[in-house]
Every structure is written in structure tokens, then in C-alpha cells.
Amino acid sequence: MNEHPLLNKLRQIKLIDRLGELGKSSDRPIAEQWERTGVRFAASEGKLEQVYYRALRRLLDCIVPTGGDKPILHEGGIYLGCWLESTGTINAELLSRFLPGVSEATYLTFARHQREDGMLPYKVTENGPAYRQIQLVSPLARSVWNHYSLHGRDRVFLAEMYGAMARYDRWLAEHRNTRETGCVEAFSTFDTGHDLSPRFWHVPDTPHEGDSKRCDPNSPILPFLAPDLTANVYCQRLYLARMAEELGESGEEWREKAAESLNALFRFCFDEADHFFYDRDRHDRLVKIQSDVLLRVMACEVGDREFFDESLRRYLLNTRKFFAKYPFTSMAMDDPRFDPFSSYNSWAGPSNFLSLIRAPHAFEHHHRHVELTWAMQPILSSFAKATRFAQAVSPWTGEEGFTEAYSPSILCLLDYVERLSGILPRPDGELWFTGLTPYAMDHGEEAAGETAYARTVDGVRYELLNLRGGSELYRDGMPHLAFPSGVRVIAGRFGQPIGVIGMSVRTVEGTLRWEGREFPFAVKGNQLLRFSDGKFESERDIGLIYPTYE
């Protein structure tokens, strides 16, 4: 049987060769851990394949021992350490699919540096842990739960992390609820990592006298009731409930606390007319600055699909607001304070990679798979011309911005390639085989052309070819599935098809070929067809939310 040239190319890739000479002695075991995942990417055209392996090489530079024997993930670039808002949560959550040992060590680093009073460090560097501020964005408990679910359900690990997070929840309730509203309060800019954002103009960057328990008593506007911090704790508590039950305890108290957080969030921080979340200052006024706070709150599983859809229409897919040519901006573009420049560390306008790696959970939680691709495609086009891995991109041109070798940027590339054109293992046990390719968004230049992707799951080697004529999946070297372009096949852990999702604005018609039989289907964008007893039946059909302009 003659194999497709792209499949042959994929099979011939040797990771060690692609990475070149390994500069640090710690690199080789990390590279070998990657080898065990079997992850490979190949493309027929463009520069994306070359950029992909350059990114992987720079990722190794971000993994170093820090305050312990095992290497952990660092933020990268000028950020020499591991930050809870990013490196210790969403970054490690993505890395878990590729280097689970590094992710687990990263999570445990925060737990093992917990202060006696229950506070977790906001960062850990070679100089030790730091506690000056809280700096919370992505929920740690969700990241920990997903890692636990993906990798063998280690209860010893889960119990240690659960205990640490429960103690931290008590610390936040005691020290960041001074106004007794049930919201989590921001005492400074850095509490949310929103450097230079107009949201925090005339607010100190750090808590009073460097003490995370103290708010500047002379501030005319602090403390803020912060929607993103409150949503973080809401989502934390939902996942702490799951953990409690997994460990044989009741999760009911955590769910009650989560409901209290959600009620406080909507009571104090939500403006119904604007359909937006704002800080509330000490004078009980809403701080009406539209920033990526909305996307942060949505990524914390706040609201139902109807609520999220309205957020898409009015903001996230609105080209006046956050849906720039290279989305998502950190400030609404129609705000006169919007600053698009990405040449410095700024949350005043540019599209930050931390926003881009937080976005998929918000979209996929509400089954908005097609809409997410409209953000991923231009970013992958931007990567295809990148020479370094910056903290942000210009929302106008896609040019890389401040710093380089920044791990959220690197992980964004790895994640988007796998979500759009690869094989993605899910915490719920599903496998996603997605039949899309990076599209030529910039000047008609191909980013990748046809693609091939490989991953080993539970000892089984899968290889996915995304060709112009359709997609082909191989299992341990043998043809396993074939399906038309523009869909995602959902499979069980052993590769058996259990559903199809439409990943295009068009209705995709064709057949799924499996075990020598053909199963016809037609699927609309975002529609889920469930495959059972040799036939497809519609389980969910929510339609599409299209971009808006005013």
C-alpha cells in the first residue's frame, strides 16, 4: 500500500533531531517525556511546521528546576519564575497534554510553598516564593482536576492539592472580603495581573506596603469588588466540590459557597443594561471600563449558553469591541483609552496570549466550536510569520509584541494546532479528531497547507491526515477512520466513533468510513450528531452566532 507522502514525512520526524543539540542536561529527559506522548506535526506547505518545532525548542528553555529537584514550567521571556495566574494554572493545564510530569510538579510547587496562614504564593522564582499580592485569573482547581482526570486519577496528588486550595479559599474569605459583600476584592493592579490597564488607573500596582492583606487606606476608590476574582473563586468552589466527592467527602458545602459567590458576582458586578461585568469601587459605583474581564468571567463557567451567546453578539465577536483582526483585545476598541501598541507589557489594548489560551474553555463550555475557529485561524496565520514567541500580538497586524520565548505564546501555538488540526485527549475520556487546516488568512500565503498530526493515547498510536479531499485517521499504522473535511469526530478512548460535530459555517455532507462500512451524514455548524447502532442522530443543534460590527 502506497502511503501518502505527508504521512511518510510525519513518521520520519525524530523529535531529538528537530530540537537540535540539547543545551541543558535537564532537556533530554523532558524531550523523552514528550516522545512518550507521540506528538508530531507536519505540514505540506508554509512555515507553520518550522515555527512549531522552534516553539517546542524554546519551551524547553522555560522548564527548569526551581526550589526543588523536579523541573517546573516558567513563564518565560523576561519573567523568570512561575506565576499562579498563568504558569501555575492555564499554562500548566495545556502543558499537561504534552508534559504531564512537568505540569504536576508545577502545581505541587504552589501547594508546598503555601504559607502557614493558608495563602498560596502568587509566584515562585529561584529566590523562593512571594506573597505580596494574590494575582488570580484562571481557576487552579479546574486545572488540577483536568490533570487528575487525564493522567490516572492519582488520589494522593489530588488530596494534597485539595487541602491546599481549601485552605486558600478560607484565606481569601477572611482577607479579601472586607466590605462583606461575598465578592473577592482587588487591592491593587497586580492582584489581577492587569498591568497598565485603564481599569486600574490611579490604583497602586501592589497592595499597601507590600502586604497582600492590606488595602491602601488613602486610596479614593479602593477596594474594588472584582468580577474576575469573584468568578475565579466561584469556579474554584465548583471544582472543589467535585474533588471533595472524589475523596469521599460531601461537596454540598462547596456548592453552597459557589452559589454565594455567583450571587454576589451578579448582585454587585453585573450591569444588566450593558450585559457586562465591572468592578464596583468603594463608593458603590461601577467602574465602567470594558476589558477582557468579560472573557475571564466566561472562562470561569459563569452563565448559561444564552448568556454567553449574548456576550458573543455584543462583545467578543463584535469588531467595535474585542473581535479585532487578530482577536481578542484586552480593552474594547471603541474605548478612547484603548491602546493597541504591543511593544510593552500592556493590558490596555493588545491581544495577549494569556487571553487567547483562556478563550477555548469559555467557547467550548457552551459548544461554540465554530466561533472559536474564527479566532484561532488568524492567530495561527500570525504564528506562521513569527520569528519569536511574544507576550502579545498587534490586534491590527498580527506582528509579535513584547518579550520572547514566552510560554503562554508557545503553548497557544501547540494548543491551537491540536484543536484545529490534531488529536486532542479530553479529561472526560473522549478523543477529538478535528478535520480542519490552518487557512491562508494573510496575503493569501499558506500557513501549512495539508497537515498531519500524531499522538499516542494509552499505548495506541494515532495519526491524522487532513487533506484537501478529506481526513484520514490511522490507528497503530492501519487505516481506522475517514471523514470529510470540516468536521470533528468525537471518539471514545479506544478510537471508536461516538459522534460528529460540524466545524464549518457550511453544512458538511459525506460519509464516515469505519471498519469497512460507510455511514452517511449531514451536519451543520456546531451541530452534534451522536453515532450509535450504525447511524447518526442529532443530539444538539444550536446554530451559529455571527460576527457583528456595531
Structure confidence by residue, pLDDT tens digits, 141-180: 999 999 999 999 999 999 999 999 999 999 999 999 999 9
Residue type, 383: F
Q: Which three cell numbers stand for residue 278?
A: 465591572
Q: Which three cell numbers stand for residue 407?
A: 510560554
Between CA 222 and CA 218 the distance in angstroms is 9
Q: Does pTM surpass 0.75?
A: yes
Q: Which three cell numbers stand for residue 99?
A: 508534559
**Residue 190: partners with Cβ closer than 8 Å, 6 or more residues away:** 122, 132, 133, 135, 205, 206
What pLDDT is recorded for position 28? 76
**Is residue 287 within 8 Å of 281, Cβ to Cβ?**
yes
Identify the CA nearest to 448 among candidates 480, 474, 422.
422
Residue type, 401: G
Identify the CA nearest to 408 among candidates 36, 85, 143.
85
All structural domains of the chain with their residue ranges: 132-302
Identify the CA nearest to 272 among candidates 241, 297, 305, 307.
307
Which of helix, strand or coil describes residue 327? coil
**Is residue 182 within 8 Å of 261, Cβ to Cβ?**
yes
Please name every residue paired with 425 in a beta bridge, in sequence order, or none if there are none: 431
- The lowest-confidence range among 22-31, 261-270, 294-303, 418-427 is 22-31
| Placement of cell 526551581 in the chain | 66
Rounded alpha-carbon distances, angstroms, from residue 56 to 6, 254, 408: 21, 39, 12
pLDDT of residue 23 exceeding 70: no
What is the DSSP code string of 437-448? Answer: -----STT--SS
What pLDDT is recorded for position 445? 84
**Residue 399: partners with Cβ closer than 8 Å, 6 or more residues away:** 342, 382, 393
What pLDDT is recorded for position 22? 53
What band does 439 get if pLDDT is binned at 50, 70 and 90? very high
Between CA 70 and CA 471 the distance in angstroms is 40
CA atoms within 13 A on the CB side of 469: 3
What pLDDT is recorded for position 21? 55
Tens of pLDDT, residue by residue over 261-319, are: 999 999 999 999 999 999 999 999 999 999 999 999 999 999 999 999 999 999 999 99
Please name every residue paired with 512 in a beta bridge, in sequence order, or none if there are none: 519
What pLDDT is recorded for position 2? 64
Q: Give the class (CATH, top level) of 132-302.
A: mainly alpha
Kindly report the number of other CB atoms within 10 A of residue 442's CB atom.
17
User: What is the DSSP-derived secondary structure letter of residue 89?
Assistant: I
Q: Please state whether the peptide bond connecting residue 353 to the residue before it is cis, i.e. omega within 30 degrees of 0.
A: no
**Is residue 530 within 8 Å of 536, Cβ to Cβ?**
yes
Q: Which three cell numbers stand for residue 3?
A: 502511503
Burial of 17 (0-12, 13-18, 19+ CB in 10 A): exposed
What pLDDT is recorded for position 27? 72
Please name every residue paired with 483 in a beta bridge, in sequence order, or none if there are none: 471
Bin 445: left if φ > 0, else alpha if -120 < ψ < 50, else beta. Answer: beta
Identify the CA nearest to 534 among candidates 550, 509, 517, 546.
517
**Residue 138: partners with Cβ closer than 8 Å, 6 or more residues away:** 85, 86, 89, 90, 93, 232, 299, 358
Between CA 522 and CA 541 the distance in angstroms is 12
What pLDDT is recorded for position 71? 93
Burial of 428 (0-12, 13-18, 19+ CB in 10 A): exposed
Average pLDDT, the chain: 95
Q: Please state whether the peptide bond connecting residue 223 to the residue before it is cis, i.e. omega within 30 degrees of 0.
A: yes
What pLDDT is recorded for position 33? 87
Kindly report the number of other CB atoms within 10 A of residue 269's CB atom.
26
Portion of the chain with pLDDT greater than 70, in percent: 98
What band does 49 get if pLDDT is binned at 50, 70 and 90? very high
Identify the CA nearest to 76 among candidates 413, 385, 410.
410
What pLDDT is recorded for position 25? 53
| Placement of cell 484603548 in the chain | 338
| Placement of cell 483582526 in the chain | 325
Q: Which three cell numbers stand for residue 67?
A: 526550589
What pLDDT is recorded for position 65? 87
